[in-house]
Structure formats: structure tokens, C-alpha cells
């Protein structure tokens, strides 16, 4: 089977992320990874905390901690949340790792050897009040492109344009708030992207037809505007150091690499971290170096990260003149908004992932977010929509089906799957419908169309309810006990099928449903078409239990409580 390398955008270290961040990268990557593993593929899902740059220093300063100590604590806190969401990373690393330092410095040296790095004197913002140069996010001000008055010195959060601190209108220090700023001369390393423009264009041209329109259009927009040479070093205390053997003067000044230079390299660094934990059985280079088409590499990210991964990092990889694996497919997402406004880590707007897990188990969130993933356009989170989806899809369509089938069968036939009856036209029609919907589900998952995949999964659940309503075993048992046994046995086979195919979306619930049946040989990772048509995986006589309620219905009182705590449109 194919080998699949999967990465999702690295979450910044500065605080727990919101639901928009989760659905725009890590969660869909996890769903896809789980699906591929079930289908028998060799999968490596890599992610890490992005620990360098000004966000880390500013957050550490705010908490009064040394930056390395802050990052270590924040990494563990973020990892705990992702564990709570059942994100099945093969490895969740840290961009501050020695492995990333080593590989980042290697990339920089190779780029320099090949003539794609140049030392330049530039004029940079300096704050006499703070006694230091102010790179990137240490400067805030008004975006010259859209007028957003809280733009940062590296990128405008509102229009996503990449900026330099000197581009900002009415700039101020993010440390002290001082507007007493000067522009002084300093030296930095520049990546000569302009010299790589043609190569990047050719590379994008070979891939963009296969990418979602969102990803290809952003990449094309950047290329059409022309690639500019960009500074890849900063005046910071925390980061990958400029190697002294190549740039002794800059190293002596304490220059470090720009976070957007080393962060994408951390995908490789984190894989080496994973490999170094078990070097006898893991080979990081077999995933990244000189692998040609033997590895399919898929990246997941929100649209503001797309330029860096479709243009800037490919330019870096091309410039080193070594056969590093480049991305094959970029799954880009729009934004999930909160009542039409942005989720924002910095502005603490919307539901954050740790808070979400305090309220409800992960499967509630996993299903809702993927079923409403912002693929073709921005999507809006509202508590009304969330409550309606949980109640209709999870509590009623799936949870109630499981509970009433098992409870009724236990009551009338005991604690084993009932025998009796032979499949008739209703069962044949159901099998055909289930096989058709399963094929639709597989097709959408293969295409990374998550909303459509969720719709197919929901339709699979609905098919069971339709069958149950048609056969009405609670009436059937009065006149045809064998017929009722057949109906319930068929429905139990549906429960087992749902447990298998729902695992990528709702893994904890899927495990609960699968454990209902005592099937010692039940190791099949997926349901085949013949099994779907015949619905005979769970034979008569199989012991079963009735699980607790899978999904609790959310009440109007719950809805109002959530809106009061997190904000939202107020009721009249």
C-alpha cells in the first residue's frame, strides 16, 4: 500500500488554540490519517509546537517566565488538549529541538553555498525606550493595505498580507507601547527568493491543478505578484542560532533565524525527533529524503498559512539542491468564524479547545467541526447550530438508534444477538443502499472532501433509522417473532458497521459501539462491500451489552448557559 506522510500547520506556542485553529489543520489531518490507517496504508502523521519568534518571547514575558521554561510548559499543555481531542499524531514535536536546529542550519548553509543567501544591511525599527531592535510582532500598527489597526509587523491578521515592521502606519512597540521609534541600520541574511521564482512557478504549475482552488489561487496570487527576497534572520534572544562557522559576525551579534524559516523545516526535524527515539526501527530519511513518488505528502492548513507552504518553503527546498520531499497535496481551509467574527487567540474571542473539553466530550466537537468544516467558504460557529447538530445527528440519528435497538432486543430476546428469519427484500434493499453510501463515503474521504464525507456518514446512520421505521420490530414481534429477530439482528450489524466506519470522526464512541459485541476475532479495520451488502458480521448468538447513552441531548438551558459564558447573539 502507499506510504502517506501527513502534516498539519504547527500551532504557535503562545497559548491554547481555539476551535477555528483545530478545524483548520490538526483535526482534519487526524481524521484523514485514521481513515488511511484503517484502509491499510502506512501513515506517518507529524506535528509540533512552533516555539520560536516573537509570540513565544512576548508570551513568556507576560507570564514572567524564561522563554525556554515557558515553551516547555506550553508544549505540554497543548499536547494534553490534543490528547483530549484524540488526535493520533505519530509524533508531536517541538521546533526548539536539537534536531530542528541541526537541519535548519544545514538548510541555511546549503542555500548559502548555492548562492541563494545574501547578507545585507537594512534599516530596522529600534526602540530607545526598550533599548533594542523590534522585529516582527514586537511592532504593531495599522496595515497599509486594509487599514486594520492591530496589524503585526510580520503579517496582517485581517487581510493576511505579509508585512515588514517598517510597512506599518503609526507603529508602536508591542513591549512598552512606545511610539518613540527610530529606524537604524543592522545586518541580516536574506533568502533570494527572486532568483528561485521561475523554479517555484514550474513546481507549482505541476501541482496546482490537483490542489483545492483555495490553495492554488493563493499560491498563484503570490507568484503573480513576484517573489521578493526576504530577511530570514531576526534580532531575538530565542530561536535557531545563525551558525558561527558560516556567519561569525552575525552569530556574535546573537542573530537567530526567522520563525517562518525554521518552522516548516520542523516537519523534518520532528520526524527526526521521532526517529531518534527508536533508531533501530525508524528511519526519518525514508520519509523525507530521496523518496520520489514512494511517499505521498499531504499538508493541512488554514488559508493564512498557505503562502508559506506553497511558495516560501518550496523555494527553500528547491534552493538547497537536495532531494527533500515536497508537498503533493495542500488541503487548505477557510476560516471558522464565531457568530460572523473571527476566533482570535490574541483577542480571546470564541471557544478555546481546553474550554470545549470542559463542556462536552471530544466526539461532540470532532463531529460538528468536520461536518461543518470551512472548505469552500468561511463557516460560522453558533451555539444554536452546534446544539441542533448534536441533537439531530449524534443524539437522535446515531445514539438513539443504537440504544433502542440494543435495549429492545435485550428486553425481548435476552443478551445475545437473536436468531431467526431469513433476509427478505427489505434487507436486500438495505444492503444495496449501505454499500452505495459506503462507496460514497470512501470516495469523499479519498478526495479529502470532509463535509461531503460527513454527509455520507450521516446518510449511513439515517439508512438504519429508515429501515427500523419500515420494519417496526416493536410491532413485528407481535405477529412474527422470527421477523423481529431478523430486523434486530440486521440493525445490530449496522451498529457494528457504524462503529467501524465512524472511527475517523468519533473514535471514542466508535470504540464503545464496537465493544458492545463480544467478538474475539473482530479485528477487521474496515468494512468491505460484500460485508456491507450482507450485514452478517455479527452472527446470531453473539453476546452483547447495552452501553450508556452515547450522546446526551443538549437543552435550551444548556444553550443559554453556553451563550452567556462565551458570548453570541442574545435572545430578544
Query: Binding-site residues, please?
Result: 143, 146, 156, 159, 345
Q: Are 56 and 9 within 8 A, CB to CB?
A: no
CA angle 135, 139, 140 (to 5 degrees): 150
| SS3 state at 502 | coil
Core vs surface per residue 143-157: b (16+ CB within 10 A) or e: beeeebeebbbbbbb
Q: Cα separation of 107 and 111, whole Å?
A: 6
Grid coordinates representing 258 are 526567522
Q: Cα separation of 252 and 265, whole Å?
A: 24
Grid coordinates representing 212 are 483545492
Alpha-carbon distances of 258 from 61, 108, 254, 470, rounded to whole Å: 19, 11, 13, 63
Side-chain-side CA neighbours of residue 327 (13 Å): 33
Q: Are 212 and 330 within 8 A, CB to CB?
A: yes
User: Cell 517541538, residue?
Assistant: 94
Q: Are 196 and 319 within 8 A, CB to CB?
A: yes
Q: What is the DSSP string of 81-132?
A: HHHHTT---SEEEETTSHHHHHHHHHHHHHHHHTT-EEEEEEEEEEETTTTE
Q: Are 7 and 29 within 8 A, CB to CB?
A: yes
| SS3 state at 364 | helix
Q: What is the 3-class SS of 278-346, one letter each residue? A: CCCCCCCHHHHECCCCCEEEEEEEEHHHHHHHHHHHHHHHHHCCCCECCCCEEEEECCEEECCEECECC
CB-count exposure of residue 54 (10 Å: 0-12, 13-18, 19+): buried
Q: Cα separation of 288 and 80, whole Å?
A: 28
Q: Cα separation of 32 and 21, whole Å?
A: 17
Residues annotated within the binding site for ATP are 345
Q: Are 50 and 263 within 8 A, CB to CB?
A: yes
Core vs surface per residue 171-183: b (16+ CB within 10 A) or e: bbbbbeeeeebee
Q: Cα separation of 233 and 135, whole Å?
A: 10
Backbone angles phi, psi at 172, to 5 degrees: -145, 155
Residues annotated within the binding site for Zn(2+) are 143, 146, 156, 159
What is the DSSP code (8-state) at residue 555? P
Q: Cα separation of 568 and 553, whole Å?
A: 20
Give the contacts of 35 (CB within 8 A, at least 6 positions apart).
Answer: 445, 504
Amino acid at each position: 500500500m502507499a506510504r502517506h506522510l501527513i502534516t498539519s500547520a504547527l500551532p504557535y506556542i503562545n497559548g491554547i488554540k481555539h476551535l477555528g485553529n483545530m478545524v483548520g489543520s490538526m483535526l482534519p489531518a487526524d481524521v484523514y490519517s485514521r481513515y488511511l490507517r484503517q484502509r491499510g496504508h502506512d501513515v506517518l502523521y507529524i506535528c509540533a509546537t512552533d516555539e520560536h519568534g516573537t509570540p513565544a518571547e512576548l508570551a513568556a514575558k507576560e507570564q514572567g517566565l524564561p522563554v525556554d521554561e515557558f515553551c516547555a510548559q506550553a508544549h505540554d499543555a497543548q499536547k494534553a488538549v490534543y490528547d483530549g481531542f484524540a488526535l493520533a499524531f505519530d509524533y508531536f514535536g517541538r521546533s526548539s529541538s536539537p534536531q530542528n536546529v541541526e537541519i535548519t542550519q544545514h538548510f541555511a548553509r546549503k542555500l548559502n553555498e548555492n548562492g541563494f543567501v545574501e547578507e545585507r544591511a537594512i534599516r530596522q525599527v529600534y526602540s530607545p525606550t526598550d533599548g533594542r531592535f523590534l522585529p516582527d510582532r514586537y511592532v504593531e500598527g495599522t496595515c497599509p493595505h486594509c487599514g486594520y489597526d492591530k496589524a503585526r509587523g510580520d503579517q496582517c491578521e485581517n487581510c493576511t498580507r505579509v508585512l515588514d515592521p517598517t510597512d506599518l502606519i503609526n507603529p508602536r512597540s508591542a513591549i512598552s507601547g512606545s511610539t518613540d521609534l527610530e529606524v537604524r541600520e543592522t545586518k541580516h541574511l536574506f533568502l533570494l527568493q527572486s532568483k528561485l521564482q521561475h523554479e517555484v512557478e514550474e513546481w507549482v504549475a505541476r501541482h496546482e491543478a490537483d490542489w483545492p482552488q483555495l490553495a492554488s489561487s493563493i499560491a498563484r496570487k503570490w507568484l503573480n505578484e513576484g517573489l521578493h527576497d526576504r530577511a530570514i534572520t531576526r534580532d531575538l534572544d530565542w530561536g535557531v542560532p545563525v551558525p558561527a562557522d558560516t556567519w561569525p559576525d552575525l552569530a556574535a551579534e546573537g542573530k537567530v533565524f526567522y520563525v517562518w524559516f525554521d518552522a516548516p523545516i520542523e516537519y523534518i526535524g520532528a520526524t527526526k525527533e521521532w526517529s531518534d527515539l527508536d533508531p533501530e526501527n525508524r528511519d526519518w530519511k525514508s520519509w523525507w529524503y530521496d523518496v520520489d513518488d514512494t511517499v505521498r505528502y499531504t499538508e493541512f492548513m488554514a488559508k493564512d498559512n498557505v503562502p508559506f507552504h506553497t511558495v516560501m518553503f518550496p523555494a527553500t527546498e528547491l534552493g538547497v539542491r537536495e532531494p527533500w520531499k515536497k508537498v503533493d497535496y495542500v488541503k487548505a481551509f477557510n476560516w471558522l468564524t464565531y457568530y460572523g467574527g473571527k476566533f482570535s487567540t490574541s483577542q480571546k474571542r470564541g471557544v478555546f479547545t481546553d474550554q470545549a473539553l470542559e463542556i462536552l466530550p471530544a466526539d461532540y466537537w470532532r463531529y460538528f467541526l468536520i461536518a461543518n468544516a470551512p472548505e469552500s467558504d468561511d463557516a460560522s460557529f453558533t451555539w444554536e447550530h452546534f446544539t441542533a447538530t448534536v441533537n439531530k445527528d449524534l443524539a437522535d440519528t446515531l445514539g438513539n438508534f443504537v440504544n433502542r435497538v440494543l435495549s429492545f432486543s435485550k428486553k425481548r430476546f435476552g443478551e445475545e444477538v437473536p436468531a431467526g428469519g431469513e433476509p427478505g427484500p427489505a434487507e436486500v434493499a438495505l444492503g444495496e443502499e449501505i454499500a452505495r453510501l459506503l462507496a460514497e463515503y470512501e470516495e469523499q474521504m479519498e478526495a479529502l472532501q470532509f463535509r461531503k464525507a460527513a454527509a455520507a456518514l450521516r446518510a449511513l446512520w439515517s439508512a438504519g433509522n429508515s429501515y427500523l421505521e419500515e420494519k417496526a420490530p416493536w410491532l413485528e414481534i407481535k405477529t412474527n417473532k422470527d421477523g423481529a429477530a431478523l430486523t434486530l439482528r440486521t440493525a445490530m450489524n449496522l451498529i457494528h458497521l457504524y462503529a467501524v466506519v465512524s472511527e475517523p470522526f468519533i473514535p471514542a464512541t466508535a470504540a464503545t459501539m464496537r465493544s458492545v459485541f463480544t467478538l474475539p476475532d473482530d479485528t477487521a479495520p474496515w468494512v468491505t462491500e460484500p460485508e456491507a451488502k450482507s450485514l452478517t458480521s455479527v452472527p446470531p448468538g453473539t453476546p452483547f451489552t447495552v452501553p450508556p447513552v452515547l450522546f446526551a441531548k443538549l437543552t435550551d438551558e444548556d444553550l443559554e448557559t453556553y451563550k452567556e459564558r462565551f458570548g453570541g447573539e442574545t435572545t430578544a
